[in-house]
Amino acid sequence: MANLTTKIGSLTMVNPVMTASGTFGYGVEFQDFVDLSKVGGIIVKGTTLHPRQGNPYPRMAETAQGMLNCVGLQNKGVAHFCEHIYPSIKDLPTQVLVNVSGSSPEDYAECAAYINELENIPAIELNISCPNVKQGGMAFGVTPEGAASVVRAVREAYHKTLIVKLSPNVTSIADIALAVQDAGADAVSCINTLMGMAIDAEKRRKLLSIGTGGLSGPAVKPVALRMVHQVAQAVSIPVIGLGGISNATDAIEFLLAGATAIQIGTANFLDPAIAQKVAQGVDEYLERHGFKYVTDIIGALED
Amino acid sequence: MKKFILDLKVTEVTKPHPRYVLIKLTDPEKALPEMLPGQFAQLRVDGSKTTFLRRPISIHYVDTERNELWFLVQTVGDGTRALAALREGDTLNVVLPLGNSFTMPSHPSERMLLVGGGVGCAPLLFMGKEMADKGCRPTFLIGARTKADLLQLDLFAQLGDVYVTTEDGSYGEKGFVTQHSLLQQDSKFQRIATCGPKPMMMAVARYAHAEGIPCEVSLENKMACGVGACLCCVENTREGHKCVCTDGPVFDICELMETWGIGK
């Protein structure tokens, strides 16, 4: 067995396989299928300072090899999370991270300050890239200045590992990545969903309640892989890759493109046991190719 | 209830109707897990060009003696058409049991009405069987467009009393289920469970509310994960958005009165 130990800032994981926010609930929903101790970390649902109802139904549309969603950050707020959810997940046998979102830099910082007090949450992922909310969300993630303003505010309030989730809906993702690195981020994860749309031709109607949604699934993988590669070339902090990863081979491609860790999102819906299988598959790949450490293949593309 | 990912073997596929397929499955290795009426499974679809996710399908019937599980699937798109192409001996990957279940009668003499429309009749067969096993005799009220659209009537008749409406009057009484003479008399029912098209369930809920009869409806909102993780399948309830996959699919109409505009 190869050494799969993965480090992101001060966060240490048993392997580089994580589950993406909004696709794995709070982990407990998947415990019948996955031995969580075999997964590097889980990132729980997007959490905001105040409770949010999210967008109206319908929130999902299938596409070729993918799906659109416009859930819109439905959650009961950070105080509810700390009081009612944290106690039931703090002792899960994996690293539990919280995805944090907001409508203003102050919002993000106040929410992060709550999470900072939770002993068993070693890191947060800042969502500056949600395409499904009017205020905040992606609005911050599409300019280097906006992204940096949120990261600076949170950096003051949050003292553990700070990961920033980037939007692909930009002209130059590398510029945004550099801006959040300069503002104090410990790592970036890329990519969030690609903004899309679906129409019912027969009914001549939009299929999603707010018209647009975020595209995920295998359809986005080539875009994600390209962006992870670009960002990894540009920054010196670790990159966490996600976007359409459905099996161990996909995960290895992202590691080779320069990702230090990867996240599995939509694939959890097709096979609730996939995260554990991917971790095992990465190990088998390393064995087969004679690598002792998973870190040996990060960015290890041949010319 | 513990959930499982299982590779089940197809034992029989029949087409009781051009738009429906009845798939029977077994686990050749071990006993099927315990399931409750109203629960559903997520069926993996292989070989569909335009769909991607699993298909949430209600549990139609469980034959414990034969270790057999039935799904009644309406073919509406590429996903369900791919399911309809399954053949005896094929393997189907399922995640189950998912969601909550219908409330069983509190005692054998409780008079319970099960109202089904279209493919929504599917979970009511399993419900009727569980009731019969516990010594209850359910009353079924089944609505369809025409006589040809009525499915499994003989099986329902083995479990309880069956009343039918068709929109064209080709079988049973003409009209919608809520227009059936059974419901025009002084109500003799103490509990109602319904599954079918949303307008039908809303009409049944309105009737139940007016008569003061406890009533549960089973919803089928568009779903991705099926386990409460993605929050795509929400229904707007008295307490805000709730997941149909985990808080449902069965809801007491009290939760939906305001958002469905019932009782106003």
Question: What are residue A154's phi and psi, to 5 degrees?
Answer: -70, -35
Whether B119 and B61 share a structural domain: no
Query: Mean pLDDT over residues B183-200, rounded?
Result: 92
Tell me whether residues B234 and A57 touch, CB distance under 8 A.
Answer: yes
Which residue of chain A comes nearest to B229, CA vs CA? A25
Whether B94 and B116 share a structural domain: no
Whole-number pLDDT of residue A134: 67
- For residue A252, the one-letter residue type is I
Is B135 inside any structural domain?
yes
Whether B191 and B215 share a structural domain: yes
pLDDT in tens, A52-82: 999 999 999 999 999 999 999 999 999 999 9
Any idea how long chain B is?
Answer: 264
A130 is catalytic: yes
pLDDT in tens, B163-185: 999 999 999 999 999 999 999 88
Residue A137 pLDDT greater than 90, yes or no: no
Contacts of A262 (CB under 8 A, 6+ apart): A16, A17, A18, A240, A241, A242, A245, A251, A254, A255, A278
DSSP string, A1-12: --B--EEETTEE
Whether B83 and B135 share a structural domain: no
What CATH number has the domain bearing residue A210?
3.20.20.70
HSE on the CB side for B148, CA within 13 Å? 4
Which residue of chain B comes nearest to A30, CA vs CA? B227
Mean pLDDT across chain B: 96
- Domain count across chain A: 1
What angle, 0 to 180 degrees and rounded to 10, lies between the N-to-C axes of helices A173-182 and A221-234?
Answer: 50
Contacts of A190 (CB under 8 A, 6+ apart): A165, A166, A168, A173, A177, A224, A227, A228, A231, A239, A240, A241, A242, A243
Partner residue facing B53 (CB), from A24, A62, A74? A62
Whether B89 and B160 share a structural domain: no
Which residues span the domain enclosing A90?
6-297
pLDDT in tens, A9-39: 999 999 999 999 999 999 999 999 999 999 9
CA-closest candidate to residue B24, choices B139, B152, B136:
B152
Is A302 inside any structural domain?
no
Whole-number pLDDT of residue B99: 98
CA A14, CA A6: separation in Å to the nearest integer?
6
CA-closest candidate to residue A160, choices A136, A183, A187:
A187
CA-closest candidate to residue B235, choices B264, B214, B253, B259:
B259
Token pair listed for B103:
């409330």
Q: What percent of chain B has pLDDT over 70?
A: 99
Supply the Cα-derived Rg of chain A in whole angstroms. 18
Whole-number pLDDT of residue B129: 97
Is A189 inside any structural domain?
yes
What CATH number has the domain bearing residue B83?
2.40.30.10
Whether B30 and B94 share a structural domain: yes
Partner residue facing A60 (CB), from B49, B95, B232? B232
Given B65, B98, B131, the domain boundary residue is B98
Whole-number pLDDT of residue B48: 86
Residue A133 pLDDT greater than 90, yes or no: no
- Domain count across chain B: 2
pLDDT in tens, B24-68: 999 999 999 999 999 999 999 988 888 889 999 999 999 999 999
- Name the pLDDT band for A131 (thresholds 50, 70, 90): confident
Whether B202 and B159 share a structural domain: yes
Whether B86 and B119 share a structural domain: no
Whether B164 and B187 share a structural domain: yes
Is B201 inside any structural domain?
yes
Is A303 inside any structural domain?
no
Is A91 inside any structural domain?
yes
Q: Is B224 on the interface with A (CB under 8 A)?
A: yes
Is A1 inside any structural domain?
no
Residue A89 pLDDT greater than 90, yes or no: yes
Is B52 inside any structural domain?
yes
Whole-number pLDDT of residue B198: 96
Query: Mean pLDDT over residues B148-173, rounded?
Result: 96
Contact between residue B166 and residue B145 where contact means Cβ atoms under 8 Å apart = yes
Three-class secondary structure of residue A45 per DSSP: strand
Q: Scanning the structure block, which residue is given the tokens 């999470």?
A: A115
Whether B116 and B212 share a structural domain: yes
Tell me whether residues B229 and A30 touch, CB distance under 8 A.
Answer: yes
Pairing of strands A199-200, B4-17: unpaired
Whether B27 and B82 share a structural domain: yes
CA-closest candidate to residue B8, choices B84, B82, B89:
B89
Is A82 inside any structural domain?
yes
C-alpha torsion A124→A129→A131→A136, nearest 10:
80
Whether B85 and B176 share a structural domain: no
Size of interface A-B (CB pairs under 8 A): 93
Which residues span the domain enclosing B133?
112-219
Is A260 inside any structural domain?
yes
Is B124 inside any structural domain?
yes
Tell me whether residues A71 and B3 touch, CB distance under 8 A.
Answer: no
Question: What are residue A239's phi and psi, to 5 degrees?
Answer: -115, 135
